[in-house]
Amino acid sequence: MTEKIRKSLRESPKARWAALILASLSIFGAYYFNYALSSIKPMLESVLGWNSEDFGTYTSAYAWFNVFLFMLIFSGFILDKLGIRKTGLGATIVMFAGTALNYWAVSHQFPEGSVVHIPLLGDMKTQVLLSSLGFAIFGVGTEATGITISKAVVRWFKGKELALAMGMQMSIARLGTALALAISIPLAKEFTVTAPILFALIVMLIGVLSFISFSVMDIRLDKSEGVKKQQVTTEDEFKITDIKYIVSNLGFWYIAILCVLFYSAVFPFLFYANDLMINKYNVNPSLAGTITMLLPFGTILLTPVFGGIYDKFGKGATIMIIGSMILILVHGVLAIPSLNFWWIATAMVIILGVGFSLVPSAMWPSVPKIIPEKQLGTAYAVIFWIQNIGLWAVPLLLGFVLNSTNPDVAPNKLSIKNAIETAFNEKLDDNSFTKKEIFKAVEKASSSAVDSIVQYTQYVPLSVEEVDTKKVENEIYSGIVEKLNNVDLSGEKKEVLKRIIKVGKDSAYVTIEKERLNIRYDYVYDMLIFLGLSISSLLFAFLLKVEDKRKGYGLELPNIEK
């Protein structure tokens, strides 16, 4: 009877899979918010006046504190010292706090031209800086939660279906990514540009509650194994000196560098994927997310499948090589300028989903074969820290390159918005419309005009030197004012606003097309960056396989112990 009571809770399939679901839900919201703003990049430009460099700064901010303040490394130390439950609860609360700051920054209207001077870096828009700080705090919580859940899955599934479990954990989390890519634009268009972030706040709160529920199950696991509070042997206790073993392990470095190269070729791509679909492939902005969500949705289905294959048949290093080769194919095809058919982009996104399923399904379960469990939290932290260097540098580089090679796109979008805003304020200020209603009307008219031009027109745009931006702005303004003089502003306010928005959109559209204003991004140079990262990841996947043969880590062997 005593023996039955002492049977570990992990031996119950229902218990360990329930624990996995609860732990995974705690990071679901993080994966949603990570891509919530990236999906509405065109609206950030046409509504808030951001440019691609601002967007690159924002997306790179995720890794600021993790990389430069070594917060990820400290998170690993904390995890190995304090354990899964305390670390995870603190991390999920930090995610929520960062999201809240981001929401406030994007929803707050700062004075026009408001900037903050940063020594050595120069001036940064106040809104971009505060939004980025929120994203940086969120990034600290997300990465700490990520390594915590990775260690939790190893704790519950070691010697069981480890790769399948890690695949399932990633699948649940990536449901958040798919959701962000699918609904962020519709949410922003239906309500306002801040709506996707508000939704993220709600989901993040659910994540905190979910991790608390997981912690209750984890306490029950300790009790089922007869583990008392603070019961740690001297042999199993993590020591700071153990990090020397981690960083001196060549196999660890190969898998860490493969990780940063591979993820840098995928995650930043997702930041820009919706904008790429709109600008290169003329996809309706409301449908662009439907195409890009095929990537994470594919991984939701396939990552557990490939994880199960690794569990039963092994071949982990080979799986990583195949995944890297797929990455090269996809980015190579997407980089060809003349291939601008939407169905090609759709096919490549689906294939990329396969590659993105293969590498992580084998990579993360391979780490425990290279690093002992007592050092696992710190090992994951160092890998995630190296990954965050890529997630900081690559988006920053992409934003800089995109802005430099398309210098007139963001200023032209801002001119369109300014013209519409001036006309709307002049005609509506004395007609019982609130500032908020006018702002929302400007937001919808500006983004609709830009989206329609990108989707439906094929003119060769004039260069920045050939366009008199002030003249174009005045022409848009004059056209709107003239047409609004013939619009009945009485009646039900919602219907009146619809008519006003249509006038703003149509007037701007006619002028933009006539003046051949450039508001379409050319992504060819950014895609070449992704291609270079993909080729490099293949090299390190081969090196890892060679090191596995030399050291006998067992990466090609099954995970399930018989």
* pLDDT for res 1: 38
C-alpha separations of 332 from 42, 83, 98, 338 in Å: 25, 43, 36, 12
* pLDDT for res 6: 54
Query: Which residues, in sequence order, are CB contacts of 324 under 8 Å at separation 6+?
Result: 258, 262, 355, 359, 534, 537, 538, 541
Q: What is the distance between the alpha carbons of residues 356 and 302, in angstroms, rounded to a whole number? A: 9
Query: Which residues, in sequence order, are CB contacts of 550 under 8 Å at separation 6+?
Result: none
Strand partners of residue 124: 116
Do 287 and 528 contact (CB within 8 A), yes or no? no
Per-residue pLDDT tens listing for the chain (562 residues)? 344 445 777 777 888 888 889 988 888 989 899 888 877 888 888 788 888 888 888 988 988 998 888 887 788 778 877 888 899 999 999 999 999 999 999 888 888 778 887 776 677 889 999 999 999 999 999 989 988 888 888 888 877 777 788 888 888 888 888 888 888 888 888 888 889 999 999 999 999 999 999 999 888 888 877 765 544 444 445 556 667 777 788 888 999 999 999 989 998 898 888 889 888 888 887 788 788 888 877 777 787 788 788 888 888 889 999 999 999 999 999 999 888 888 999 999 999 988 888 888 888 788 888 887 777 767 877 888 888 898 889 988 998 999 899 988 888 888 898 899 888 888 777 667 788 888 888 888 888 888 888 888 888 888 878 888 888 889 998 988 888 888 777 778 788 888 888 888 999 899 988 889 898 889 999 999 999 999 999 999 999 999 999 988 888 888 776 5
Q: What is the distance between the alpha carbons of residues 277 and 454, in angstroms, rounded to a whole number? A: 11
Query: Which residues, in sequence order, are CB contacts of 134 under 8 Å at separation 6+?
Result: 98, 99, 100, 101, 102, 103, 104, 105
Q: What is the CATH number assigned to the segment(s) 14-227+249-406+522-551?
A: 1.20.1250.20
C-alpha separations of 327 from 169, 176, 330, 331, 357 in Å: 22, 22, 5, 6, 11
Sign of CA dihedral 256, 89, 270, 404: negative
* pLDDT for res 433: 78
CA-atom Rg of the chain in angstroms: 25
Give the pLDDT confidence of 370-408 residue by residue, as tens digits: 887 777 767 877 888 888 898 889 988 998 999 899 988
* pLDDT for res 411: 87
Q: What is the distance between the alpha carbons of residues 318 and 343, in angstroms, rounded to a whole number? A: 30
pTM, two decimal places: 0.76
* pLDDT for res 463: 83
* pLDDT for res 428: 77
Q: What is the distance between the alpha carbons of residues 260 and 262, in angstroms, rounded to a whole number? A: 6
Give the pLDDT confidence of 22-64 residue by residue, as tens digits: 988 888 989 899 888 877 888 888 788 888 888 888 988 988 9
* pLDDT for res 48: 83
* pLDDT for res 253: 92
> What stretch(es) of the chain map to CATH 1.20.1250.20?
14-227+249-406+522-551
